[in-house]
Amino acid sequence: MNKRSENVSDNSLWVTSTPSQAASLLPFYITEAGHFYAFEDYYVSRNEHDSFLLLCTLKGSGKVRSGEAVINLPSQTAVLIDCHAPHAYYSLEDNWEFIWFHLRGNSIQSMYNILYPEKIAPIDIITSKLFHSPDEFIRACSQNDIASAVEISSHIHSIFSIMLNSKLNSSHEKTNGQYSDYINLALNIIHEKYHLPLTIEDIMEQIPLSKYHFIRIFNQHIGITPYRYLTAHRINAAKILLRSENISIAEVAEKCGFSDTSNFICQFKKHTGQKPLEYKKYFL
């Protein structure tokens, strides 16, 4: 059951949008947006809603529940909520001022997964342009022409970029940068020795961390595991060889560190959608 008591002041702003077919193909588009000045008894609780919700606190503080996570959302922080699962958000004090956007689009799920590989958390977005003129942007969300839709999608992408950079910088500060040298060392080893039969243990030979901890930290900072990074680097090297040298597929596989030609062909097609020979012929 959905429950709501949207007790907000009269100067609050709320707009809706009905995206065109073209707009619905964009990475991000907005179906509703608002700038609310909420009183102490403001709350919204839903079992589900067919969108994601970007909440940004301007002043005061709110509380958000999504799944098992319960977080405070203080001033100049934001959170992205997957509304397809049960969720709630409500005031922690009188005069909670926040802006919100119900979002859809073909990239929204991927962005959510990038921001929150584990569970949601508030993210600082002090530098966001949203804080400078929120009402102007929110009113623009109700315009249904394609030019406005593209600009809005681009602006939302910029906000997510700020959130991601803020999260990464915060993570770096919490660890005092102690893992940066280890990650850079691992990257250098991969870049220099990708053509060899490298294992995670080889990459970690000079890194005094457990294998599990290292993989988690690497994934947190780089966005993928060391093995996937190594494979992607090998694929990139193989692309150059396929386009620039007249050598066999087996030789390319060997030069790029793949254990055998069949594995190389399988991995190349998995990452590019083409077999190596198809890729090579395309550039002939």
**CATH number of the domain residue 37 falls in:** 2.60.120.280
pLDDT of residue 13: 93
The C-alpha atoms of residue 35 and residue 14 are separated, in whole angstroms, by 7
- In this predicted structure, the answer to whether residue 9 has a pLDDT above a threshold of 60 is yes
Q: Judge if 77 and 134 occupy the same domain.
A: yes
- In this predicted structure, the answer to whether residue 276 has a pLDDT above a threshold of 90 is yes
Mean pLDDT, to the nearest integer, of 190-201?
Answer: 92
Angle at 269 between CA 250 and CA 204, to 5 degrees: 75
Reported as a pLDDT band with limits 50, 70 and 90, residue 262 is: very high
Q: Judge if 162 and 109 occupy the same domain.
A: yes
Q: Judge if 187 and 221 occupy the same domain.
A: yes
**Nearest 10 degrees: Cα torsion 230, 232, 233, 236:** 160
Q: Judge if 184 and 166 occupy the same domain.
A: no
Q: Judge if 161 and 233 occupy the same domain.
A: no
Q: How many domains does the chain have?
A: 2
pLDDT of residue 1: 44
pLDDT of residue 19: 86
Q: Judge if 15 and 137 occupy the same domain.
A: yes
Place of tokens 């593209």: 150
Domain boundary (173, 191, 209) is at 173
Of the candidates 70, 111, 113, the one whose C-alpha atom is nearest the C-alpha of residue 89 is: 70
Of the candidates 256, 228, 196, 230, the one whose C-alpha atom is nearest the C-alpha of residue 276 is: 256
Q: Judge if 64 and 90 occupy the same domain.
A: yes
**Mutual orientation of helices 146-174 and 108-115 as an angle, nearest 10°?**
10
- In this predicted structure, the answer to whether residue 17 has a pLDDT above a threshold of 60 is yes
> How many C-beta neighbours within 10 Å does residue 161 have?
12
> How many C-beta neighbours within 10 Å does residue 48 have?
12
Reported as a pLDDT band with limits 50, 70 and 90, residue 176 is: very low
The C-alpha atoms of residue 2 and residue 35 are separated, in whole angstroms, by 21
Q: Judge if 168 and 188 occupy the same domain.
A: no
**CATH number of the domain residue 230 falls in:** 1.10.10.60
Reported as a pLDDT band with limits 50, 70 and 90, residue 235 is: very high
Q: Judge if 195 and 147 occupy the same domain.
A: no
The C-alpha atoms of residue 134 and residue 271 are separated, in whole angstroms, by 40
Q: Judge if 130 and 252 occupy the same domain.
A: no
- In this predicted structure, the answer to whether residue 127 has a pLDDT above a threshold of 90 is no
Domain boundary (173, 193, 223) is at 173
- In this predicted structure, the answer to whether residue 15 has a pLDDT above a threshold of 60 is yes
Q: Judge if 62 and 128 occupy the same domain.
A: yes
- Report percent pLDDT > 70 for the chain: 93
Q: Judge if 196 and 161 occupy the same domain.
A: no
What is the domain range of residue 69? 3-173
Domain boundary (153, 173, 193) is at 173
Burial pattern 100-120, b for ≥16 Cβ within 10 A else e, equals bbbbbbebbeebbeebbeeeb
Reported as a pLDDT band with limits 50, 70 and 90, residue 206 is: confident
